[in-house]
Structure 1
Amino acid sequence: MPADHAQRGRAARHAQPPAASEPSAPQPAPRKRAPITLERITDAALHVIAAEGYDALTVRRITHVLGTGPSSLYAHIVNKDDIDDLVIGRLCAQVVLPEPDPALWRSQVRDVCGQLRDQFLAYPGVSRAALAMLPTNLETLRVNEGLLAILLAGGVEPQTAAWAIDGLFLYVSAYAVERSLVEQRQKRADHAWVLGRDELVSRFEALPADRFPHIRGHAAELTAGSGHDRFDFALGLIVDNLPGHASRA
């Protein structure tokens, strides 16, 4: 048996090698999957919100967009609240802050709030993530710092300025939530009860005059406004009544 084994080995060593085949075309190296980063997680989260609304934002949905598993995300985040923080931080990063001008401080506050509103409205329902959020993200803090600088330059007392910023963020967030809810309902076939202005005026004017004399008599005023007229009005109630320096706007 040992001799036979040796012979087979020797024969194998002396055997003619097989004819060389034609060289095959070089195969491309497999593409490496991009690493999971906070930037990619934020991008995926905003993609989900823009396409499906804030209610669709979950860790599982983000992992599907990224083509990975939950463990890959949890190497970077603690929970869903972390994703909310990243998203709001990214949107705040898009806000351009002016150099505080004591003569224009009221209009500067309005401009910053308008920018924040537009960022929130671009992603339906996302401002819900901003409600009750502690501003610890550096980009969110950057907007707070900018508003505080503007208000202080305008002569607003520090405590008043601090609470004003809180009220401004709450109003901007709530306004964006309401707009996104109305737009969402208008897209659904089972929410045909969302009324246009003409229909709403007609209903108000048809109310019993003895019970609703003021609503009936001022139906046009109660339903007036287009675009962001109501936002600008309510924002003005806050900003214009802050005690500070007189300004040109």
Structure 2
Amino acid sequence: MYTQIRDLYPEYPGVSRAAPAVVSTDLETLRVGEGILAILLAGGIEPRTAGWARDALSLYVSACALEQSLVRQRRRHPDAEWVLGHEELLDRLSALPAERFPQTRRHAAELISGTGQDRFEFALGLLVNGKRPASG
């Protein structure tokens, strides 16, 4: 359900900027929230925990959508040097001073591994049930 919500954000530019700051009382938004709450409660989650989880999940999805919106916006401009490709990011992390960033250098490839979808699903899993990343 949250993947579908995330995928709708690009159709409504600007919503991801406003969503974290507004508690919507729009009936359609409340209907979606009701469905999410029902799923969490059906899974045996206590009402308070379910409400807080729904808030955290919604904030996470909004933040992901906002990040993607900003990346798309900046990529349209020729001065978008801050949008790095995978290899360039790996090179930069691997070139950090070893004495100050030993862990980042050593694990640079793992730190930036996975697709955006992989990372999105992982974070939702953490928020919902403490899911651990698959090894491999």
TM-score scaled by structure 1?
Answer: 0.50
> After superposition, what is the alpha-carbon deviation per residue over 1:24-52, rounded to whole angstroms, capped at 9, x for unaligned?
xxxxxxxxxxxxxxxxxxxxxxxxxxxxx
Q: Distance in 1 between matches of 2:12 and 2:119?
A: 20
Which of 145, 148, 157 is 2:46 aligned to? Answer: 157
**Is residue 2:28 matched to residue 1:174?**
no
> What one-letter code is carried by the residue in structure 2 that aligns with 1:160?
T
- Check the 8 A contact 1:201/1:219 in 2, yes or no: yes
Kindly state the Cα deviation for residue 166 of structure 1 after the two structures are TM-superposed.
Answer: 0.7
**Is residue 2:126 matched to residue 1:234?**
no
Task: For 1:52-67, list aligned pairs within 5 A.
Answer: none
Q: Distance in 1 between matches of 2:10 and 2:41?
A: 28
**1:191 corresponding residue in structure 2:** 80
* Other structure's SS at 1:192 match: coil
> After superposition, what is the alpha-carbon deviation per residue over 1:204-232, rounded to whole angstroms, capped at 9, x for unaligned?
11111111111111110111122411111
Kindly state the Cα deviation for residue 135 of structure 1 after the two structures are TM-superposed.
Answer: 2.3
**2:113 corresponding residue in structure 1:** 224
What is the count of residue pairs matched by the alignment? Answer: 131
> What one-letter code is carried by the residue in structure 1 that aligns with 2:48?
Q
Kindly state the Cα deviation for residue 125 of structure 1 after the two structures are TM-superposed.
Answer: 3.8
Structure possessing the higher relative contact order (Cα contacts under 8 Å, 6 or more residues apart): 2
**1:13 corresponding residue in structure 2:** none
Structure-2 change in CA distance of 1:191 and 1:168 (3 Å): same
Structure-2 change in CA distance of 1:167 and 1:193 (3 Å): closer
TM-score scaled by structure 2?
Answer: 0.89
Structure 2: unaligned runs, 5 residues or longer: 132-136
Which of 211, 215, 230 is 2:104 aligned to? Answer: 215
> What one-letter code is carried by the residue in structure 1 that aligns with 2:90?
V
Q: Distance in 1 between matches of 2:107 and 2:72?
A: 26
Kindly state the Cα deviation for residue 132 of structure 1 after the two structures are TM-superposed.
Answer: 1.8
Following TM superposition, the consecutive aligned residue runs of length 4 or more in structure 1 with deviations greater than 2 angstroms are 121-126
Q: Percent identity?
A: 62
> After superposition, what is the alpha-carbon deviation per residue over 1:49-69, rounded to whole angstroms, capped at 9, x for unaligned?
xxxxxxxxxxxxxxxxxxxxx
Task: For 1:44-193, list aligned pairs within 5 A.
Answer: 112-193=1-82
Task: For 1:23-62, list aligned pairs within 5 A.
Answer: none
Radius of gyration: which is bigger?
Answer: 1
**2:134 corresponding residue in structure 1:** none
- Check the 8 A contact 1:125/1:181 in 2, yes or no: no
Structure with bigger helix share is: 2
